[in-house]
Amino acid sequence: MTHLPYIVAAYGLTLGVAAILSVNATLRLRQARKRLAAIEQPRTRQPS
């Protein structure tokens, strides 16, 4: 392939940023879900 370094850099950069965004979103969602579950359970039990 001609200009291989440029092609590799462009694809690497795109995939790298995509990976960072997805991992960050996944971790944040998981943590938020865990925190919400921990807080909501005792509250739903209380009224009964």
Partner 1 sequence: MNATQSLTARTGNLFHRYANPGRFLRMGAKLQPWLTWPALVLSVAGIVWGLFFSPADWQQGDSVRIMYVHVPTAWLASSGYMGLAVCSLLSLVWRHPLADLAAVEIGPVGAAITAVCLATGSLWGKPMWGTWWVWDARLTSVLVLFFLYLGHIALIRAFDEPQRGYRAAAILGLAGAVDLPIIKFSVQWWNTLHQPDSITVTGAPTMSTSMLWPLGLTTLGFTLGFAAIVLARLRASVMESRVRTILAANRGRQSAAPQPDRATP
Q: Does 19 bind partner 1 (CB under 8 A)?
A: no
**34 vs 16, 39, 44, 46, 47, CA distance in Å?**
27, 9, 16, 19, 22
Residue 21: count of CB within 10 angstroms of its CB: 10
- Closer to partner 1 by CB, 43 or 45: give it: 43
Q: Does 7 bind partner 1 (CB under 8 A)?
A: yes
Residues making contact with partner 1 (CB under 8 A): 1-4, 6-7, 9-11, 13-15, 17-18, 20-22, 25-26, 28-29, 31-33, 35-36, 39-40, 43
